[in-house]
Structure 1
């Protein structure tokens, strides 16, 4: 039995998905009267996952969830989507379950200012002008991806950090997919023999390695290629990719 390549821990992966994934709010159907329960998932006007795992969601003020008086047990689902087009683009899911409550306007404005300090967004200006802010206080979290399904405690989530290259990942993978197909083809030599005949695409990137998707007639297969050391900058990433393809002079910087 061989050791698996190193990968971020479940709590780190949860923080990474929370930092960039689109979100939907699952309607708390069992808690609402049948006449007023929303029929579908709710896509917030804006969402933000705080460092402690609490989720702020901005909704139209006339929404049923805003008009509900008191707490509701609900769930926010965040989706990790591959930045390049794939047959199966969802790479992972993060579910945050907790108590949802509408914030009074003065408190909502304070929270909105804290969000704007790290993530300026003009939609926050709609608060109090047709939009209301709700907060989901986490009770449990679950991350599900290619590495398995794992519970994550709010304390572990708060102690972790997103992957250091999570916000650069999308641009890098798109650049690799569109401008360096020869590099992707060369990486085929690192795959198991039975997978080398499939269509190879870049799937994911973190400080420990590069993930590839092999699309073949018998299904999709994901393979992780480990870096020689954890990376934290784009320069280190470029060096690792050049090492993998065996060409130290290859220009891999985006835009080069």
Structure 2
């Protein structure tokens, strides 16, 4: 399974929603606190891009040379329609400063020096050290996951439904929907005859490194379901 540090790093570098909580910006609208872009630096710091006039930039500017305490909240929502669509949340707290000269005119890059990290997702909840976060790498499929899951649901629904044959005692689930995908395997959300939902996980024989490896792994999984 992916480590908690890898899962958090994947969330930061994915397209999931993010919101920065900073003192002095509590009255700002939700969209004003969402960075336009985010990335992770070589030392594990998180860089957040905002319009120069945004509340987050004003708060960091007002703090002048002092480090401003802040929390980056991340919310991961399944890209396909399933019951209980929130797949995970993460909170990265630390100290916010400006990084002048990095962003294009009209924007400002903010630097979040990471202190505490907590993730709560489909795998469970865990704390992550800044050192582990800095050393981790995002899942290699994260840039494609949304498109791949939507493609599976729309174009390969018959194959996805066939995975119910691999569910052992719960085989024959009424509905199976692809929920999450990473280099280790595929997670689906199932609905049984009583209307109750449960998750099932199908691990690949070996971790995949790219989309080409994923195609082979998925083909093997669908073939196994048809036997």
TM-score by length of 1: 0.75
Query: Aligned-pair distance for 1:193?
Result: 2.8
Query: Aligned-pair distance for 1:25?
Result: 0.6
Identify which of 17, 24, 32 aligns with 1:22.
17
Distance in 1 (alpha carbons) for counterparts of 2:57 and 2:213? 47
Specify the alignment match of 1:154 in structure 2: 130
Taking a change above 3 Å as real, the CA distance of residues 95 and 178 of structure 1, as seen in their structure-2 partners, is: same
Query: How far does the alpha carbon of each residue in 1:87-127 deviate from its partner, in whole angstroms, 9 at most, with x for none?
Result: 32221112110011233xxxx22x44xxxxxxxxxxxx3x3
SS in 2 for 1:246: helix
Taking a change above 3 Å as real, the CA distance of residues 218 and 16 of structure 1, as seen in their structure-2 partners, is: same
Query: Aligned-pair distance for 1:195?
Result: 6.4
Query: Aligned-pair distance for 1:234?
Result: 2.4
SS in 2 for 1:221: strand
Are the aligned partners of 1:91 and 1:146 in contact in 2 as well (CA < 8 Å)?
yes
Query: Aligned-pair distance for 1:241?
Result: 1.9
Structure 2 unmatched ranges of 5 or more: none
Structure 1 unmatched ranges of 5 or more: 1-6, 113-124, 249-256
Distance in 2 (alpha carbons) for counterparts of 1:220 and 1:50? 39
Specify the alignment match of 1:253 in structure 2: none
Identify which of 144, 157, 166 aligns with 1:181.
157
Identify which of 25, 35, 43 aligns with 1:44.
35
Distance in 2 (alpha carbons) for counterparts of 1:92 and 1:160? 18
Query: Aligned-pair distance for 1:38?
Result: 2.8
SS in 2 for 1:167: coil
RMSD: 2.5
Specify the alignment match of 1:83 in structure 2: 79
Are the aligned partners of 2:90 and 2:118 in contact in 1 as well (CA < 8 Å)?
yes
Higher normalized contact order (CA 8 Å, seq sep 6+, divided by chain length): 1
Is the counterpart of residue 55 in structure 1 residue 56 in structure 2?
Answer: no
Distance in 2 (alpha carbons) for counterparts of 1:181 and 1:86? 14
Specify the alignment match of 1:95 in structure 2: 91
TM-score by length of 2: 0.83
**Number of residue equivalences:** 217
Distance in 2 (alpha carbons) for counterparts of 1:51 and 1:198? 47
